Structure 1
Amino acid sequence: MRIELTLNGQRVCADMPADATLYELLRAQGMKSVKCGCETTNCGLCTVHLNGRPVLSCSQLAARCAGAEVVTLEGLQDEAQLLAQCLADEGAEQCGFCSPGLVMNVLAMARELRSPTPEQVDRYLAGNLCRCTGYMSQRRAIAKYLKMREEGAR
């Protein structure tokens, strides 16, 4: 099945099986930041932005994404730099396996909410499993990122 979509600002066309997931299409296109940890929508490692909203690419049929705009972490490198630095500064990147999905969710949250409350941050993190950090360092890093982002916007 031929699927056309916009990936990180570039038009792509891929021949995929009818039952292929968006995750499979993205990996076939060389997107290494998109990880698959569970294939059951429980870990958040495969999070991408689909038409501006965070989605789990392992649960989206690629065929249903035809004509859509898909953005992976590879397409948000500039935007993700400050958050990556905050994560490193706060010791929130131990193994780093969960980081791409976490970053994609935090960037979506930062776009959607001007000054998210701790509860809203927790809601955005709810789908991201991390076996290393216990989430406290991630919360500190996100708070630091949001503060720096807000100060930079002034």
Structure 2
Amino acid sequence: MDENKTQPTAVPVREFLAAVEHPVRRADGFALLELMRDATGLEPVMWGPSIVGFGRYHYRGASREGDTAAVGFSPRKANLALYGLIYDPDAAKLLAGLGKYKTGVGCLYINKLSDVDLGVLDELVRRGYEYVMNELHRP
């Protein structure tokens, strides 16, 4: 069984965000940092070179097992990728009021925070974190 290659690092999160080239992604990254910190009550940790994560859970899949961030985000060049927010079965109801977004396998993609309702995003983070920690976490 393969182990998750994305592991926590000692890189300071604020240092990573300050180096984001795109000014809107950089500003949105700092705003997401505060939103997710408030929603989870946790301090962020860098996972790999580009994911800001909050919390940690252990998972086992058919071909892979390991630890990963419960929720998190990555300010990519093309968009903001948010992790752990759409696993909760009730997430679809919240997404209806979020605004402009796309989804992928386990990810929520938004172009910029001004495209979405931050109250709904906050609720997605809270519920996503609770769901991952209570329903998906397998010690």
Please tell me the TM-score bracket, short chain as reference.
0.3 to 0.5
Q: How high is the TM-score relative to the length of structure 2?
A: 0.33
Q: How high is the TM-score relative to the length of structure 1?
A: 0.31
Q: Looking at secondary structure, tell me which structure has more strand per residue.
A: 2
Q: Looking at secondary structure, tell me which structure has more helix per residue.
A: 1
Bigger Rg, which one: 1
